Each structure stands twice: as C-alpha cells, then as structure tokens.
Chain A
Amino acid sequence: MTTASIPVLTKKDFQTDQEVRWCPGCGDYAILSAVQSVFPELGIPREKFVVISGIGCSSRFPYYMNTFGFHTIHGRAPAVATGVKIAHPELEVWVATGDGDSLAIGGNHTIHMLRRNVGIKVLMFNNKIYGLTKGQYSPTSEFGKKTKSTPFGTADRPFNPLGLVIGADTSFVARAVDVFQGHLKDTLKKAAAHKGSAYVEILQNCNIFNDGAWFNLTEKEARSEHVVQLEHGKPLIYGKNRDKGIRLNGMELEVVHLGNGNGLTEKDLLVHDEHHKNPAYAYTLAQMEDMPGFPTPIGVLRSWDRDRYEDVMSKQIQDIIAKRGPGDLSKLLRAGDTWEVK
C-alpha cells in the first residue's frame, strides 16, 4: 500500500520556526493558515511540495511553509516554477504571488505559464495595492484611486484578473476570499486536485494601506447580498433570503428576483457549468464584479482538462528515446562527415 508509506501529516508539519513578519491583522495570515491546513490533507509527502514566490508581502509565504521553498525575484516566480516543474513533473509546485507581482511586473510570465498549462498552482493575493513598497496603486486598483503615487487619482483602468487569465485559456480559474476560511480551503483542495495550471485569486485585505478594499463583500451585512457562490450544476442564487439569482438573457447576464410574484423560480436561473467549453461563459462570470448591481462570484469559474506542458515535453523525450534509442555521446561527437588523419 502506498498510502502506508506516507506519514500522516498535520498542519504543524507545515509550519516553520520563522517568525511571521506580516503586519498584525493582515489577510495573509488567514491564507497561510488555510494552506497549512489543506496541504496535510492532500496525501502528498511533504518533501514533494515546492512553494515559489516573487516579491511583495505575499511572496514571503515560502519562508513560513515547512516545504521546499524559493523566494525569487519580482514577477518571475511562474518562470522559475516552470523550470522546476519541467525538470521534475512529479513535484507539487505552488506559487504565492500578489496583484503587483503577478499582473504588473510578472504579467508576461503569468499568461505564458497559464497558456502552456504547466501544472502549477498560483495563489494570487489581490489586495488592490502595493503593500511592501508602502502604498502605491496596483494593476487592480479601482479607476481614480488616490494613493501615494497617485495623489490626484489613477488614470488607468484596472485589470479584471480572472478575465485576463481566462483570456490566456487557463484550465482552472477560481476566486476565494481570505476571511471565508471554509470556502477558501475547499477551493484550494479543488485547485490541488486539478492537473494543469490553476489560478486562484484570493481577495485579501491589506489593513495598513488599503483597509476595507473588500468590505462590501466580507462584512457580515454585505456578504449575502454581494457575493454569489458558484457551485457546479447549481443555479446562481444569492441573497440573505436566497431570493436573488442570475439569469442568462441572450449573451447578457441579468439579476432577477425570485418569488415576488413575477413567477420566476430557481429553474429560470443560470446553472453553473465549470466545464463549459466556451471560455466566453467563464469570462462573462468574471466580468460580474465590475458590473454595478451584480454580486461578485466566488468559487470555481472554469475547470477543464487539457495536456500539461511538462507531460507533453516528457512524452516527446520518451518517444524519441524509444525511436532512436538513448543518446550515445560517442556517436553524437562523430555525427556528420568525419575524416581520419594518420
């Protein structure tokens, strides 16, 4: 039995002796705790885990995870992780990154890693601000936001992160929230179970430089009215009394009210299909957070299977070896036309 050889791991096994140096009250603590809780449940030996990060508050993550860890340079974690995963496809590689690291300086690596479908799980902590450099706006900051570097407001429209990665044909796209622990852990497990690239946006509060960025979703009162939890095969329904839902009208989504005499029931609502073949479906869901009057969807927006880059590459190597036999150095040196000098 292979399971017998894997020691039973606990959350404690994934904690390090390093002092955690995030600001008190930072949303990162909740994410760290969730990851440390989920990893032992995956049935994977601890030494197979590699946590890789770039630069930023989120990127201190590897130091607090008792796994193999690599704190690299700004924006480049997906590329470093790609090298690790190609060289050792059997490793369980996770990237911890933020909205600046992943979408500004590392935007190029992010989209290319996702397009290749390298089997890496990306946790993108989105707090809509630059924390480590003390409060400049980020590619996800809302238009017009006044920050240290934009005292009169930003002039650029933010990225919709999930729209962006769906555009890169990412095979697993999800959103979770730092303070919704149960849902976060559940989402992490789903990401872990996915074979290819997984991109999880985690809405995270920076209580120092952008406190309350997500309060309209996370505050008790707002939560049920402003968040819709996606579940595969279930209708998009929300509201304190579960009396609101999302309906598809042609290509457009619309918010509808149930049971107030208009004759609408759950059956009229859009039923979530995370395996929907057309990426436009997931893209449309991703747009909801920017649409006034719409709730923000959390959960898995898209999940579908396609070949992983590292598997295709390994197979190519195996096929060539099967066809030509393993490389013979002596033959390689003597390739082409040779001649003897006596």
Chain B
Amino acid sequence: MATITDPVVRAHKREVIEKAVLRFCGDSGDGMQITGSQFTNTVALYGNDLATFPDYPAEIRAPAGTLPGVSGFQIQFSSGDVFTPGDAVDVLVAMNPAALRTNVKDLKANGILILNSDAFTDGDLRKADLTTNPLEDGSLDAYRLFPVGLERLTRTALQDLGLDAKSMDRCKNFFALGMCYWLYNRSMDLTYKWIEDKFKTKALLVEANKLAMRAGYNYCEATEAFQVSYEIPPAKLVPGTYRNLSGNQALAIGFVAASQKAGLPLFLGSYPITPASDILHELSMYKNFGVMTFQAEDEIAAITSAIGAAYSGALALTTTSGPGMALKTEAMGLAVAVELPLIICDIQRGGPSTGLPTKTEQADLLQAMFGRNSEAPIPVLAPSTPGDCFWVAVEAAKIALKYMVPVIILSDGYLANGAEPWRIPTIDEIPGIKVKFAENPIGFHPYSRDPETLARPWAIPGTMGLEHRIGGIEKQDVTGNINYEPLNHEKMVRLRAAKVEAVTQDIPDLVPAGDPDGDLLIVAWGSTYGAITAGMKTMRAKGHRIGHVHLRHLNPLARNLGEVMSRYRQVLVPEMNLGQLLWILRAKYLVDAQGYNKIQGQPFKQSEIEAKIEEILG
C-alpha cells in the first residue's frame, strides 16, 4: 500500500495578499464542482469571507472535451468583505483545451494559468475547435503559464495501488486541488476527512484520492513550480459561529426553522426542476423533523397537493423554476381565492420556455406579480444573498400564516448554487410565528376576517362543528357561500387586494445604503446585491453621492420607497431582465428611473456596475 509522505519543506517566498479569485474549469465529468466546493469549505473554515459561482452546463455529460461540456467553479476569498465571486480571475485551472478556450478571457493579465498539458493532443484540440496548440502558439503569452501533466503525474503517484487507468485519471482533479492548496497555504485536512467520508466503503479510492491530492501539493513543493505562495489572513466577520451555505440549502433549513417556530409540520410538494431540485433533496433528508416531502407527478400536482396540505393545517410549500411556475399558475389563483397559507419558491433561470436551465436570470418578476387570470395579487419576496435565503424563508412563512395568503419567493440560479459564509443564528434570533386554528363553532364563518390582517380563520378538517365548504368559485364575504352578485364580486376582489396591501404594516421603512440623498439611487432586488454593493463602494470612494435600496419586498413595496427615490437626482435599476422592476416603479411612482439590463444568463460583474455609474454620473 502506498503511503502518504509529508513533503520536504523548502524555502520559498510567501506573500500576504488581501484577496484572490480562483476558477476551476474542465469537462463536466472532471469533477470541477466537487473540487471547487472542497476548496471553498477549506477557505471558509479558515475564516475568509467568500462568494462562489458554480457555472455548469445543462447537459449531464456533453461529449467529453467539447465546448458545451465545460463546467466551472469560481470562488473569491478575502481577508476583507466579499460581495461577489469576483470579475477577473487570478488563478485559472483548466483541465482541457475546451475549458481553456471558454474561460481564459476572464483571466487577469499575468494571472496564473495551470493547464493539464496531457489533454492537449491533436484530438483534444479538434474537439475544442482549435487549429493550433495554445501551449505552443504564443496565444497564452500574457499569462504565467504552468503546463502540468496531470494525468501522467497522477498515474505515477497512484501506480502502486493497482487501479485501472480510468480510475486513476478520475483522481486528477484532486492533484490540481492539492496544487491550489499549496499555492494558498491551506491545510488539506478537511478534504482528507471528506474523502474518507465520501468513499468510506471503498478504501482504495480513499487512498487514491488522498494520494493524488498530496502528490499535487508535493509537486509544487518539490519542483518549485511557483516561486511564491500566497497567504490570505482570516476576515474580520461579525463574531459568531459560521458555516458555509448555498441559497438552496438556506431555503431548505429556513423552512424547517419556520415549521419549528410555527409548531406546524412542513409539507413540500415538488417536481424536480433545475435549479430548484436541491431544496427537495435537502428537505427529504429531514424526516426526523416530521418533514413530508412529496415528489408529485407534475408541477400542478406539486402545488395542488401543497394546497391540500395547507387546507388540512400544514405549513405547505412548493418549489420550482420558471417553466414550473407557468404550470402552477391556475393553482396559485385557487390559493388566492380560498385564502390559504402557501409558499411558492421560484428559483429563476434563463427563459423563455426551457431557456437556460442552469443559468441565472430575474425575468419571472412580472410573472410572479401578475401571471394569473383575473385579479390575483400575491406577496412577493426576494432574497439578496445565499445566506439571506434563510431569513426570507422564515419571513415568507410568517406572512403566509399571518395573512392567510400564498407567498412567492423569487430566488435565482446564482443564489441557489452560490455559497457564502453564514453566521448561524441562535434559536431566539429567529422570529416566532404565531398560528391559531379556529376551534369554536359558535359564530364561526369561513370568511369572517381579522380586522388588522383581514385574514380569514384557518379551520382545518377534523375540527368538530366547523364543517364548511370552500372553493374557487366566487363566494360571499363572511359566509363563504357561492355568490355571483356584481357588488359582492367587486368587494371580494378589493378585499383580496387589501389583504396583500396590509402586509406593508410588517415591512420596515427602507434605509438606503451609502448616501441618504444625492446624485444617484440604485434600486434593485435579488441576487444583484453583491455586485451593486461592491460597485457602489468603489464609486462612492471616488466622490459620488450614491444610495442603494435593495428590495426584499417586491409586493407590496415598502411604504417609503417613493419618498426615498425623490431624494436623489437619478434612479438606476439594474436587473437581469429587460426592466421588470423598472416597469413597476415607473408605473407606480411615475418616476423617470432608468434600467441597466443584462440578459446573458450570467450575474452582473462589479466592474459593469461601476462602468454604468460612471456613464451616468460622469
């Protein structure tokens, strides 16, 4: 059995820097997402602030080595605040020519480029549509190039294990990971632990992956390939206990927290769809919290089963992405009509139709606002960071239960898969959620209303004396009896709208980040938070007076939004759509706001926000 030996420690230069952006890219079968998340966990545990951006193709396995098959994982980590995964890359690890070709444009001039030189045969080059070899044609002269025979070196390191060539080659990503650990002076312990756990029934693979990673680390140490390694000290985060958390994980545990706080069992009706499925996967593990996960036969059954669960007294949830939202439309209208608490999570992706399943977009806002027949208003919330997804999940549950309404959460692919260090709250920091079921048959009416919230009573089946009928047909206020009278209908339409509007009493006034008044107010929502925050910081340092409000509540809007906008000379609304929030703001406030729109399936870069501000303010 081969053994892992510690490297001979040689003297090399160690440089302390503030931050770095690293990207792993390769074929979708090369394990880039695993490599990236291992690196992420290690730097997180070390105490750096960080943001990640996994970017992978919709195809599970596009033909190996081709351009459509390229999968990437980017991380920015720092001793200071991190708001985005970074614009330009300091270190790029590319496993094949296709990965190089699609990613090298993001590498900084003089950046470190680690290439798997074993993957640059004529055949590999052809698959990437390259006519000349970048290792030889001088096209990479602007970078610090490190061609490393990853396959050859990994096979040499593992030669005594008796593995077949294919299995040995599968470990090459860990060789590259070992190199990056050396480059940033990181301990490999956490990844060792993960490998042991992951392959616990396959001792040989544990050995192989550990050995490959150690070999990568030792390779750097022994060859002095890099003359310098880097040190990025821990960040000064708010004191507390932290973990690394992705947006979808945060939503999942947020719903469990809400269910515990409300004392209600959690029911999820869902149909698998990218990029929302991880919420279903995550929640299906929490059966010891009494969580019921129902993988339905389609998107419609997913939401209607959740409506059934809500009707009988569960905290009910359905999760989906844009195409699934479209299918759930009629059922959302039913939830509005029968006034039951329900949470609908839309993890937005590029559209229309199937669109870009694995890429991010914010173009479902107007669908969430208006995408139902007739007048069917629904409160809409949007998280701004992966960690914020937790808090939005709890708040959505709170609103749904307090006002007896369906609530939509608009997350997106970027938040869903991106991760950041998250300060773990104490149980007491999570808001309590009050729930009251109707119990008293005397004077009971299914559509009587709480004067403050306009909520109707939640009278669940099984409660003696409260037998009653509800449905999608228009009903009389108070009694709930079928009623087609003109004035009653108008009354009910207005009541349902007033109920949603009543949620404003729970929305705190907006306080702009940055300057409280001045030249420019940026109004935005969702996952653009990081790029805007980082970009605005730079531009304020240049002397511009800029404010930023990031809307968590998209329906209803905070009461003072109009007043806040009036304090600035100009209003800019950056969105990953053609201007949907912009449309709402202009319609509602008659404000001459301007949009900044990017619809590329990719998040905004900090530099793009800066350039736009520069363009406006000069």
How far, in angstroms, from A109 to B253 measured CA to CA in the complex? 29
CB distance B237 to A341 under 8 Å? yes
What 1/0 flags go to B238-264 for Cβ under 8 Å of A?
Answer: 111111100000000100110010000
CB distance B467 to A83 under 8 Å? no
A1 to chain B: closest CB distance in Å?
Answer: 18
Q: What are the residues of chain A within 8 A of B461 when measuring CB–CB? A: 47-50, 68, 84, 88, 91
A164 to chain B: closest CB distance in Å?
Answer: 15
Q: What are the residues of chain A within 8 A of B425 when measuring CB–CB? A: 333
- Please tell me which one of the listed residues B330, B465, B473 contacts residue A71 in the complex, with CB atoms under 8 A apart: B473
CB distance B471 to A71 under 8 Å? yes
CB distance A325 to B288 under 8 Å? yes
The verdict on A72 contacting B472 (CB below 8 Å), with A79-B300, A333-B425 known, is yes
The verdict on A47 contacting B467 (CB below 8 Å), with A79-B296, A84-B309, A329-B257 known, is yes
What 1/0 flags go to A325-342 for Cβ under 8 Å of B?
Answer: 111011011111111111
List 17 interface pairs A-B (beta carbons < 8 Å), by A numbering. A47-B463, A70-B469, A71-B472, A72-B471, A83-B306, A83-B310, A84-B461, A109-B300, A317-B288, A326-B289, A332-B256, A332-B257, A337-B190, A338-B241, A341-B234, A341-B239, A341-B241
Assess whether B301 is interfacial by the CB under 8 Å rule: yes
Q: What are the residues of chain A within 8 A of B296 when measuring CB–CB? A: 79, 112
What 1/0 flags go to A47-60 for Cβ under 8 Å of B?
Answer: 11110100000000
Q: What are the residues of chain B within 8 A of A70 when measuring CB–CB? A: 308, 311, 338, 469-471
Q: What are the residues of chain B within 8 A of A88 when measuring CB–CB? A: 312-313, 460-462
CB distance B304 to A79 under 8 Å? yes
How far, in angstroms, from A340 to B47 measured CA to CA in the complex? 8
CB distance B298 to A337 under 8 Å? no
CB distance B243 to A317 under 8 Å? no
Counting contact residues on chain B (CB < 8 A from A), the size range is 35 or more
How far, in angstroms, from A85 to B308 measured CA to CA in the complex? 8
CB distance A337 to B44 under 8 Å? yes
Q: What are the residues of chain B within 8 A of A45 when measuring CB–CB? A: 464
Assess whether B269 is interfacial by the CB under 8 Å rule: yes
A339 to chain B: closest CB distance in Å?
Answer: 5
Q: Which residues 425-482 in B have Cβ within 8 Å of A in the complex?
A: 425-427, 460-473, 481-482
How far, in angstroms, from A69 to B338 measured CA to CA in the complex? 12
Using a Cβ cutoff of 8 Å, how many contacts connect chains A and B? Answer: 211
B44 to chain A: closest CB distance in Å?
Answer: 7
What 1/0 flags go to A71-89 for Cβ under 8 Å of B?
Answer: 1110010011111111110
CB distance A72 to B265 under 8 Å? no
A88 to chain B: closest CB distance in Å?
Answer: 5
CB distance B288 to A327 under 8 Å? yes
Q: What are the residues of chain B within 8 A of A73 when measuring CB–CB? A: 304, 330-331, 333-334, 472
Assess whether A267 is interfacial by the CB under 8 Å rule: no
CB distance A87 to B313 under 8 Å? yes
Q: What are the residues of chain B within 8 A of A323 when measuring CB–CB? A: 288
Q: What are the residues of chain B within 8 A of A67 when measuring CB–CB? A: 467
CB distance A69 to B468 under 8 Å? yes
Q: What are the residues of chain A within 8 A of B238 when measuring CB–CB? A: 341
Assess whether A18 is interfacial by the CB under 8 Å rule: yes
Assess whether B18 is interfacial by the CB under 8 Å rule: no
Q: What are the residues of chain A within 8 A of B591 when measuring CB–CB? A: none
How far, in angstroms, from A323 to B470 measured CA to CA in the complex? 40
How far, in angstroms, from A73 to B372 measured CA to CA in the complex? 14
How far, in angstroms, from A337 to B197 measured CA to CA in the complex? 13
CB distance B471 to A340 under 8 Å? no
How far, in angstroms, from A48 to B291 measured CA to CA in the complex? 23
Q: Which residues 210-237 in B have Cβ within 8 Å of A in the complex?
A: 234, 236-237
How far, in angstroms, from A248 to B7 measured CA to CA in the complex? 82
- Please tell me which one of the listed residues B242, B260, B464, B482 contacts residue A47 in the complex, with CB atoms under 8 A apart: B464
CB distance A317 to B292 under 8 Å? yes
CB distance B286 to A63 under 8 Å? no
The verdict on A91 contacting B312 (CB below 8 Å), with A71-B470, A313-B292, A336-B244 known, is yes
Q: Which residue of A lies closest to B472 (CB)?
A: A73
A87 to chain B: closest CB distance in Å?
Answer: 4
CB distance B292 to A337 under 8 Å? no
Q: What are the residues of chain A within 8 A of B588 when measuring CB–CB? A: none
Assess whether A284 is interfacial by the CB under 8 Å rule: no
Q: Which residues 292-334 in B have Cβ within 8 Å of A in the complex?
A: 292, 294, 296-298, 300-301, 304-314, 316, 330-331, 333-334
Assess whether A16 is interfacial by the CB under 8 Å rule: yes
Q: What are the residues of chain B within 8 A of A72 when measuring CB–CB? A: 304, 307, 334, 471-472
B386 to chain A: closest CB distance in Å?
Answer: 14
Assess whether B267 is interfacial by the CB under 8 Å rule: yes
Q: What are the residues of chain A within 8 A of B45 when measuring CB–CB? A: 337, 339
Q: What are the residues of chain B within 8 A of A332 when measuring CB–CB? A: 253, 256-257, 286, 289
3 nearest A-B pairs in the assembled complex, by CB-CB distance: A83-B308, A71-B471, A327-B289
How far, in angstroms, from A62 to B427 measured CA to CA in the complex? 43
Q: What are the residues of chain A within 8 A of B287 when measuring CB–CB? A: 316-317, 320-321
B269 to chain A: closest CB distance in Å?
Answer: 6
- Please tell me which one of the listed residues B241, B267, B330 contacts residue A340 in the complex, with CB atoms under 8 A apart: B241
- Known A62-B471, A83-B307, A87-B265; further 7 A-B contacts with Cβ < 8 A: A50-B461, A71-B469, A80-B311, A87-B313, A108-B298, A327-B288, A329-B256
